[in-house]
């Protein structure tokens, strides 16, 4: 993890939730994400780890649904925001500052590893994924929300599918083309990749 990246994301923390898909402030957007994740997670309660959790929006959505969630992010200000949001919502989520590339959680302690819009930016995504897979119990699930954005940055669905197949089975790509997830029309590739691990 680089200090530049940490400073960049610290600087984004205050306004991060202003984007519809970040803050999920719009009820229809929030409901779409809730339903999508519920369709891929085990029945609550399960143990979920949210890597690069940002301001904790998805962590809190899942805690609200009854899951036991831990969230980790490299930017201390993102984690501050996440903790404040948890307190305001009366939800218990363990948020810590850390590196998603090498998360210091006990091996085999999670049923789900969730990561939205972070894998693509890691220096060695394949090694990170192998570490994430080791956090999962047998039958655990890997949920990767990624995209190949109009800027040219990101991972194609085929890239992420290939990466997920190195650590898991039953790899599926769910295209996320519906405007409802993003607060407006999109012109680029966005998707969720799910895999079963161990």
Ligand X SMILES: C[S@@+](CC[C@H](N)C(=O)[O-])C[C@H]1O[C@@H](n2cnc3c(N)ncnc32)[C@H](O)[C@@H]1O
Residues that bind ligand X (CB under 6 A): 1, 5, 9, 22, 52-54, 57-58, 73-75, 78, 99-101, 116-118, 121-122
| Nearest-CB residue for ligand X | 54
Residue (22 or 30) nearer to ligand X, CB: 22
Separation between Cα atoms, residue 55 and residue 131, nearest integer Å: 23
Nearer to ligand X, 96 or 173 (CB): 96
Instruction: Spell out the residues 6+ positions from residue 41 whose beta carbon is closer than 8 angstroms to its own.
Output: 48, 62, 65, 67, 112, 141, 143
Give the shortest CB-138-to-ligand X separation in angstroms.
Answer: 26
| Least distance (Å) between residue 101 CB and ligand X | 5
How many alpha carbons fall within 13 Å on the CB side of residue 66? 6
Q: How far apart are CA 190 and CA 156, in angstroms?
A: 8
To ligand X, the closest distance from the beta carbon of 44 in angstroms equals 20
């Amino acid at each position: 993890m680089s200090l530049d990246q940490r400073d960049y994301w610290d600087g984004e923390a205050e306004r991060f939730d202003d984007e519809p898909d970040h803050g999920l402030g719009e009820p229809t957007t929030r409901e779409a994400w809730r339903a999508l994740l519920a369709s891929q997670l085990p029945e609550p309660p399960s143990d979920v780890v949210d890597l690069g959790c940002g301001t904790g929006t998805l962590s809190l959505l899942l805690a609200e649904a009854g899951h036991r969630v831990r969230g980790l992010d490299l930017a201390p200000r993102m984690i501050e925001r996440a903790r404040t949001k948890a307190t305001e919502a009366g939800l218990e989520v363990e948020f810590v500052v850390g590196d998603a590339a090498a998360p210091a959680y006990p091996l085999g302690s999670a049923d789900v590893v969730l990561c939205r819009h972070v894998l693509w930016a890691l220096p060695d995504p394949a090694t990170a994924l192998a570490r994430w897979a080791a956090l999962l119990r047998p039958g655990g699930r890997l949920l990767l929300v990624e995209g190949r954005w109009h800027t040219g940055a990101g991972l194609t669905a085929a890239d992420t599918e290939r990466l997920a197949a190195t650590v898991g089975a039953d790899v599926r790509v769910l295209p996320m083309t519906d405007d409802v997830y993003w607060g407006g029309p999109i012109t680029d590739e966005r998707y969720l990749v799910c895999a079963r691990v161990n």
